[in-house]
Structures are given as C-alpha cells and as structure tokens.
Amino acid sequence: MNTQIKFKETIYLSSKFRLILFFLIVSVEMAINCSSGVLSSSSKSIKNSLNFNDREFGLFGSFNGYGRALGSITFLIIVDQMNHKKIFLFFIFLKSMLLILFKFINNGYILILLRGLMGFAHMPPSIYIPIWIDQFGNINYKTVLLTIRQFVIPLGKVLGYYLCIIFNENEWKKGFFIEGIYLFFVCFCVFYSNEKYFNNKLKLSNKIINNICIFEYDENKNFNKKFDYVKFFNQIKIVFSNKIFNIENIIRAIMCGVSATIHYWCADYIRNYLLVDDSIKIFYSYTIAGIFGPFGGIFIIYIINNFIGGYESKFAPICLLFLEIFCCLFGIFMSLTNDLKLFCINLMIFFIFQSSALTIMNGLIIISNNEMKGIVFSLANIFTMLFSAGPFPYFYGYINNYYKNYGKTNYAMKFIIKIKCLNVFLIGYLNYLLFSKKDNNEDFNKEKFREININVS
C-alpha cells in the first residue's frame, strides 16, 4: 500500500527576519490608509483648489469604495492562481505610481478617477497581510500580530492628518507623494527579499531550533489551478439564499458605511458646523477619537469574551443589540452638540461601541455558513464596498450640499445617524430569527455545498 507523502522538504526561516518583514509589510497597511487621512483633513483646501462642492468632494470617497470592491473581487479570483509575492509587489507598485502621479495632475475629475484606481490597488495587499501573518507569523503571537495590524489602520489616517499640519494647507498633495515614495521603497525591499518568505506552499511545522523556525513544503497544495467560475457562482447563490446571512450582511454594511462616512467627513463637519478651523485642534480631536475609540472597543470585546465566550455564544446577538443601541445614542448626542469637546467625547464613545459591535458582527457572519467561511466574509466585504462604503460618502456630500443652502449644516450628519438607528430594529429582527430557529439554514447550506463539490468534481 502506497502512502502519499504530504511534505517534501524542510525549509529554515529566521524568526528575526520574519519579524522585520512583518513590520515592513504592516507599515504598508498604515501607508495605504494615510491618503484617507490627508483627504479628510484637507477637505477645505481641496474643495477650494479644485473648485468642488460637497457633492463632488464626496466622489473622492465613493470612487475609492467602488475601487476597493473591484480590488476585492480581483484578489478573490487571482489568490490561488499566482505567486503571492508577485501579487503583493504588483499592487503595491501600482499604488505607489498612482500616488506619485496624483501630485502632478490638477484636473479634479481625473483625480477622482485616480482615487478609484487607488482603491482598486489598496485591497489585494490589505487582504494579503493577515494571510501572510497567518502563514508566517509566530504561532504563539499571531493574535498580537493581527491586533497590531488592525491598529495601524486608524494610525495611518492619523498620520495623514499630521502630514497636513506639517505642510502648508494648499500643499495637501505632498502627503500623497510621500506615501507613494515610501511604498516604492517597500517594493524595493520586498523585491530583493528571499522568495521563500512569501512561498504559497510553506506550512509552519511548530518547531524552532536556535531561533530558526522550521517550515515544511506542502506538496499537495496546488496554487496554479484554474479558477472554477461555475462552482464560484453556485457558492454565491447558496450564500445569499441564507436569510440570516442577508440580514447580517445589511447590518454590517450599514455599520461600515456610516463609520467610513464619519471618518471621511469628520474634519469638514468640525470646520463647517462646529466652526473650528484650527488644523491642530482638528488633528487632536480626530486622534483622540480615532485611536482610543478602537482600543476601547478591544477592551469591551475582551470583557464580553470573558463573560459570554465570544461571538459563537448564543448571547452574542443580544450583546450586539445593546452595543448598537449605545452606539446610536452617542451618535445622536454627537450630531446634536455644537461644542468641540463634547463632540470629541461622543465620537470616541461612538467608535468604542462601533468597533466592538463590528467585531461581533464579523464573527456572526463568518459562522453563518461554516462550510464556506472564506467566501462568506469576502462576499460580505464586497457587498459593503458596493452598497455602503461606496455610495455613503457621496450621499452625505449631496445632502450636505443641498441643505447647506437652507442653513442646515449638520443635517447630513443627523441623516447618517438615522440610517445607523435602523440597525437597532434589524438586529432585533436578527435576534428573533436566531432564537426562533424556524428553519435550519446551516444543514441546508451544508447539503447544498456537498452537492456543488460532487457536481463540479
């Protein structure tokens, strides 16, 4: 009887070099989010220099969201077709060239198009980073590494605000140029790094000898297989046939869309409604809310995990409901106050409950279909980009532009919070569906998934 050999050879990778490579790769996540902070903090000078109104400025955010959706779809198709190092390098290089090109173009609508292409180039590296951490990260510190990766996203936006303080208000494009130069430097470093540190087929063997980790070459993994479109679209059909997933998807889309819109329009709102035009005050206000908010959310999730056992607990949807209620309450307080300090405090607490609620929501979506976890979360991200994170910044700008003529400079913020409040009713309905268990969607999906695998094979 012939036994199949799973691992062909042993490869030694330095733990120190992998840690250096980790910080280099994670710095990419910070850099590619820097431009979002630059746009948000420079809203006034951008609108003046390009002769844009709020509606046209909103297109910067919306085109970026649609570009990210296209980038997510592209990565989903090519991730098993190409070498991961080549994917990472190509999209980082594309992003760096677009950022550098951004500095030398003055036509507003071409810049909006470039912003959409930047969103397209943003997503594949952003999705790949946690994959790299899972494959090459130290097995005892993967959770810490993933937390660091999550933290650098708001840190990148804060860095964008800071760059706008360093440079003259009319030189906001310099932030894009510096980001592009840095990404080009990362491309250079990654290009000359050893191929084995990005090898798709390596698997950690849990052995460490003299600070050298032992990896094994997985012979059975085939990353050059042809993408199966029939199976892919059948899986999409099954995922969206799950009623619970559809409700959860809408809830998550509203969460992400409202959060992305507030991040994007925050500085503009402070200037036009709170009448604070001091860049340093705006920087500190956003930094406090944008950094301490997500950290507070991590703390709340830690408490919830200790008491109910994480998002797989039957009490997780109830916790989600209460977190969203508190999030909406502080969102309402935030939209009603005209004092910068009160606004900053309410915004920070809003982000605390928002980030903790989103963490639970992500977990509920993943476990909505245990047979297809990867594609479920990918589809949820694409849905969010297409239907909330994409259009919401434009809708905010359109509403703000219209009602500003009537002296209602905070109507758009109130409107976006009203949309957020819809989630309370949707989460209540989700709780009803989960606890009533009228139909066993999980068993149905498992059976359908097996049918697809049998038919395609």
How confident is the model over 344-372, as pLDDT tens digits?
999 999 999 998 898 888 888 877 776 67
Question: Which H or E element spans position 212?
Answer: strand 212-218
At 262 the pLDDT is 94
Stretch 98-117: mean pLDDT: 93
| Tens digit of each residue's pLDDT (9 = 90 or more) over 144-192 | 777 788 788 888 999 999 888 888 767 888 989 999 999 999 999 988 8
Pairs from 268-273 (Cβ < 8 Å, separation ≥ 24): 268/40, 268/43, 268/44, 268/54, 268/57, 269/410, 269/413, 270/340, 270/343, 271/43, 271/44, 272/404, 272/409, 273/338, 273/409, 273/410, 273/413
Q: Tell me whether the CATH fold assigned to 8-227 matches the one assigned to 228-457.
A: yes
The DSSP string of 385-416 is IIIIITHHHHHHHHHHHHHGGGT-TTHHHHHH
Does residue 33 have a pLDDT over 60?
A: yes
Q: List the chain domain ranges.
A: 8-227, 228-457
b/e map 415-441, b = 16+ CB within 10 Å: bbbeebbebbebbeebeebbeeeeeeb
| Tens digit of each residue's pLDDT (9 = 90 or more) over 241-280 | 888 899 999 999 999 999 999 999 999 999 989 989 888 8
Largest CA distance in the chain: 83
Best CATH choice for the domain 8-227 from the list 1.20.1250.20, 3.30.565.10, 3.40.1160.10, 2.60.40.10: 1.20.1250.20
At 363 the pLDDT is 83
Q: Predicted confidence band at 392 (pLDDT cuts at 50, 70, 90)? A: very high
Does residue 452 have a pLDDT over 50?
A: no
At 105 the pLDDT is 92
Does residue 140 have a pLDDT over 70?
A: no
- Torsion angle of C-alpha atoms 22, 68, 414, 428, degrees rounded to 10: -80
At 391 the pLDDT is 93
The DSSP string of 114-156 is HHHHHHHHHHHHHHHHHHHHHHHS-TTSHHHHHHHHHHHHHHH
Does residue 449 have a pLDDT over 50?
A: no
| Tens digit of each residue's pLDDT (9 = 90 or more) over 57-84 | 999 999 999 999 999 888 888 877 778 8
Using DSSP, state whether 217 is helix, strand or coil. strand
On average, the pLDDT of the chain sits at 83
CA distances 223 to 126, 147, 270, Å, are 20, 28, 49
pTM score, whole prediction = 0.84
Does residue 445 have a pLDDT over 60?
A: no
* Residue found by looking up tokens 């030694």 in the block: 12
At 5 the pLDDT is 39
Does residue 326 have a pLDDT over 80?
A: yes
In words, the CATH class of domain 228-457 is mainly alpha
CA distance 84 to 294: 30
Residues of the chain above pLDDT 70, percent = 83
